[in-house]
């Protein structure tokens, strides 16, 4: 695995090294360490920076158009241990070379994963400052960066400002430990609306509810049918979905792994 060293600093007895990962193969090679970092870090809004989400997006992009995304993912290592990752890629649009979150536009928010044991975060701050001074990009876009992200104070310290009034809705399910908790939190009005919809469906035949997990053949079939319905509905509304994006999204979601024991299970279930 070839990686570019961009900065170093001493921390305790081990060096902190920042490296840029520029290929999907390199990203695949650190998948296990990436998942281990996910278990250690504490940001509840980081699923779209996870190995499962980002790598499945890369594979789907390659399958859809034959081209791998141009990665510029930033990693920080303390010895042999991955202690921080900022999944990023470049996107060329309207004549501009833009640095965006890996997985855009499907990834719902930007962010990073960082080990809480990494107390000396000078290297993160230096990297953020470098984006403004010697970046090869015309624009750096951290779309929908949650205030809980470790990147948020670093962007401000680097002179990157946010409009605090520009709040957007993100899928924050961090308050739920399992999918059943989401159902239990439904209001009486929501439950009533749900029952009404089920009664309407029952007019066309018996309705049965069954949970299908990601990766299963029947799940893939149901997903294809649901996305075809969504595509037809959008076309009726005069908002057709780009064919390449539709196929890429189906490929990704159909193969997105689902781990019943993970803390991200509510988010995974909501996506699927």
pTM: 0.69
Is the model's pLDDT at 82 over the cut of 90? yes
- CB atoms inside a 10 Å sphere around CB 18: 21
The DSSP 8-state label assigned to residue 47 in this structure reads G
Question: What average pLDDT does the chain have?
Answer: 75
- Percent over 90 (pLDDT), the chain: 13
Give the residue from 269, 230, 242, 236 showing the smallest Cα distance to 253. 269
244 pLDDT above the threshold of 70? no
The answer to whether 85 and 75 are in contact (CB under 8 A) is yes
88-92, 209-213, 257-261: segment of lowest average pLDDT: 257-261
Sequence-ordered alpha helix ranges (H) in 83-212: 122-133, 151-157, 179-184, 188-202
pLDDT band at 259 (very low <50, low <70, confident <90, very high): low
pLDDT > 90? residue 33: yes
Confidence of residue 153 (pLDDT cuts 50, 70, 90): low
Distance CA(165)–CA(177), nearest Å, equals 30
> 16 vs 256, which has greater pLDDT?
16
Q: Distance (Å, rounded) from C-alpha 125 to C-alpha 114? A: 13
Q: Tell me, what's the pLDDT at 10? A: 43
User: What is the H or E stretch that residue 97 is in?
Assistant: strand 96-101
Which tops the pLDDT comparison, 75 or 183? 75
Of 89-103, 105-119, 152-166, the range with the lowest mean pLDDT is 152-166
Whether 250 contacts 230, CB under 8 Å:
no
Average pLDDT over residues 216-227: 80
Q: Are 136 and 95 in contact (CB under 8 A)?
A: no
- Of 226 and 5, the structure prediction assigns the larger pLDDT to 226
């Amino acid at each position: 695995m070839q990686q570019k060293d961009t900065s170093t600093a001493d921390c305790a007895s081990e060096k902190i090294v920042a490296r840029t990962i520029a290929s999907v193969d390199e990203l695949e090679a650190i998948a296990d360490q990436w998942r281990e970092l996910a278990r250690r870090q504490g940001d509840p809004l980081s699923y779209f920076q996870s190995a499962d989400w980002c790598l499945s997006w890369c594979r789907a992009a390659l399958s859809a158009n034959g081209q791998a995304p141009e990665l510029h993912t930033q990693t920080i290592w303390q010895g042999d241990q991955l202690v921080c990752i900022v999944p990023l890629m470049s996107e060329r649009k309207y004549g501009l070379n833009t640095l965006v979150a890996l997985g855009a536009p499907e990834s719902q928010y930007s962010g990073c994963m960082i080990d809480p044991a990494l107390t000396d975060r000078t290297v993160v701050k230096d990297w953020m400052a470098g984006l403004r001074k010697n970046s090869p990009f015309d624009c750096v876009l951290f779309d929908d960066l949650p205030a809980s992200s470790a990147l948020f104070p670093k962007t401000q310290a680097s002179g990157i400002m946010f409009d605090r009034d520009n709040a957007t809705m993100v899928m924050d399910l961090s308050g739920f430990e399992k999918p059943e908790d989401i159902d239990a939190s439904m209001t009486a009005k929501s439950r009533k609306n749900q029952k009404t919809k089920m009664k309407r469906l029952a007019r066309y035949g018996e309705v049965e509810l069954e949970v299908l997990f990601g990766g299963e053949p029947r799940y893939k079939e149901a997903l294809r049918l649901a996305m075809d319905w969504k595509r037809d509905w959008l076309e009726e509304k005069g908002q057709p979905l780009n064919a390449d994006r539709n196929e890429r999204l189906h490929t990704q979601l159909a193969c997105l792994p689902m781990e019943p024991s993970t803390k991200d299970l509510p988010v995974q279930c909501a996506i699927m």
